[in-house]
Amino acid sequence: MARRSRLLSLAAVLATLLGALGVTLLFGQGRAEAHGVAMMPGSRTYLCQLDAKTGTGALDPTNPACRAALAESGGTALYNWFAVLDSNAGGRGAGYVPDGTLCSAGDRSPYDFSAYNAARADWPRTHLTSGRTIKVQYSNRAAHPGDFRVYLTRPGWSPTSELGWDDLELIDTVTNPSQQGSPGTDGGHYYWDLALPSGRSGDAVMFMQWVRSDSQENFFSCSDVVFDGGNGEVTGIRGAGGTPSPDPTPTQPPTTPPPTHSGSCMAVYSVQNSWSGGFQGSVEVMNHGTEPLDGWAVQWRPGAGTTLGGVWNGSSFSGGDGTVTVRNVEHNRVVPPDGSVTFGFTATSTGNNFPAGTIGCVAP
């Protein structure tokens, strides 16, 4: 929620002021949240971030719907495309998540995804054939047991109409599907076969709700599709014309490999505030394991023209290859199971406030 960002921002400023006086502010530990949305058929947030990637840290979507969503909901939401969640949904759907907010988790996510509810016909879309079986891919950015409920809009629905529960019919439920790739990476995902209903044509939305069995947290995902005889092709994004890989190659690949993710540790990057020539950011370090995480380190490559300044609740090191590594300090060294800690920083910037490539946990 916006309130969360404001609180973190105020806390970060307070930490900076106290740090200048030699006083340490201890941040409380939080609860780790899982992360994931549909990658095939691609959700609005997933395909919009593919469209927006430039390889420099700048987000520059070519699709008009994605461009409007970025302008309204901001870059932090799009950079965290996998976090359309409600921590307290507990499997509730109709009557709990209001109509018109299904694609933003009822506007209860820690990030502002409200713009992705826009009723418009120019979202990126996946082309499918009615009656065929497709292999669904759903990001396992943080893996957890649970059910995946798959809905499809009813025949006659219009993409320029607000999406409500009465527009949907349940077509599949899958429990604990198989996984491929590593959790915590862009390409890791759950997968299963889905038989599409026959007799369909035209535009539709495939809506999915991931209901965790080990938590009240749920995830929500809206994928725009069109039944026109297609085989999974995606249109409406940068370089469209085929089926996107779940782990696409950046437009400008980094000169060094991305960080190797370490076990159950996961890092989530946010821009809390920005101004001409700089910004304030934060990184939430999560432990999705069943044992305490004893020591952590996070590494990323800042966007072009970005240089880190002060860091609080962490110790930073700049590598000769252009990467930045932030390690724990003593008071936040241990992260409990399903818990999280946060460090903050300021940076000078020419406008590329997001990492150029992947951010991830590395060996401390």
3-state helix/strand/coil string of the chain: CHHHHHHHHHHHHHHHHHHHCCCCCCCCCEECCCECCEEECECHHHHHHHHHECCCCCECCCCHHHHHHHHHHCHHHHHCCCCCEECCCCCCCCCCCCCCCHHHHHHCCCCCCHHHHCCCCCCCEEEECCCCEEEEEEECCECCCEEEEEEEECCCCCCCCCCCHHHEEEEEEEECCEEECCCCCCCCEEEEEEECCCCCCEEEEEEEEEEECCCCCEEEEEEEEEECCCCCCEECCCCCCCCCCCCCCCCCCCCCCCCCCCCCEEEEEEEEEEECCEEEEEEEEEECCCCCEECCEEEECCCCCCEEEEEECCEEEECCCCCEEEECCHHHCEECCCEEEEEEEEEECCCCCCCCCCCEEECC
> Which run of H or of E encompasses 339?
strand 339-348
pLDDT of residue 9: 41
Bridge partners of 128? 227
Angle among Cα 176, 86, 353 to the nearest 5 degrees reads: 105
Q: What is the pLDDT along the chain (364 residues), one digit of tens a residue?
A: 444 443 334 444 433 433 333 333 333 344 444 468 899 999 999 999 999 988 777 899 999 999 999 999 999 899 889 889 998 999 999 999 999 999 999 999 989 999 999 999 999 999 999 999 999 999 886 777 899 999 999 999 999 999 999 999 999 999 999 988 765 566 788 999 999 999 999 999 999 999 988 888 899 999 999 999 999 999 999 987 544 444 433 333 333 333 433 457 888 888 889 899 999 999 989 887 778 999 999 999 998 899 999 999 999 999 888 899 999 999 999 999 878 899 999 999 988 888 887 788 888 8
Question: How are beta strands 125-128 and 218-227 bridged, if at all?
Answer: parallel
User: Left if phi > 0, otherwise alpha if psi is -120 to 50, otherwise beta: which for 180?
Assistant: beta
Judge whether 123 and 235 are in contact, CB under 8 Å: no
Q: Options 3.20.20.70, 3.40.50.620, 2.60.40.290, 1.10.287.4070; which CATH number does 2-31+254-362 get? A: 2.60.40.290
- Bridge pairing between strands 85-86 and 278-287: unpaired
Q: Do domains 2-31+254-362 and 38-235 have the same CATH topology?
A: no
> What's the confidence (pLDDT) of residue 259?
40
pLDDT at 340: 87
User: Rounded to the nearest 10 degrees, how much is the dihedral formed by the CA atoms of 13, 19, 23, 29?
Assistant: 60
Domain ranges of the chain: 2-31+254-362, 38-235
Q: Which residues pair with 293 in a beta bridge?
A: 335
Per the CATH hierarchy, to which homologous superfamily does domain 38-235 belong? Answer: chitin-binding protein cbp21 (2.70.50.50)
Quick one: pLDDT at residue 184? Answer: 58
